Amino acid sequence: MLRNPKVTLEIDLDEGAWSQVPQHHRPLLMAMVEFSITGVQLEKDLEDQRERLTNKEERYLLRHGCMPVRSLKVVHYRQTENTQQQ
């Protein structure tokens, strides 16, 4: 099932933890979860938001259990690189 873009995601989030995440980061986090499961690339505006995150924002998201954004960049780059080679 991993890396299958046709999978319909249904995610149960802990309400207490999710309520601590700033509203403007929520769409990005959901897109990152979708990417990590299905491999579906982030929409351009979310990718731009991801790239603009400060180190402080990255550490904050990491403390809330989110994959470090720099690590996602490596995965995203590799996936894009593999797609271009095919």
Q: What are the extents of the domains in the chain?
A: 36-86
**Average pLDDT of span 1-26:** 76
Assess whether pLDDT exceeds 60 at residue 47.
yes
Angle at 33 between CA 28 and CA 38, to 5 degrees: 120
CB 40 within 8 A of CB 75: no
**pTM assigned to the model:** 0.63
- Per mean pLDDT, which range of 14-18, 22-26, 27-31, 62-66 is the poorest? 62-66
24: which DSSP letter? Answer: G
Condensed to tens digits (0 to 9), the pLDDT of residues 18-27 reads 788 888 888 8
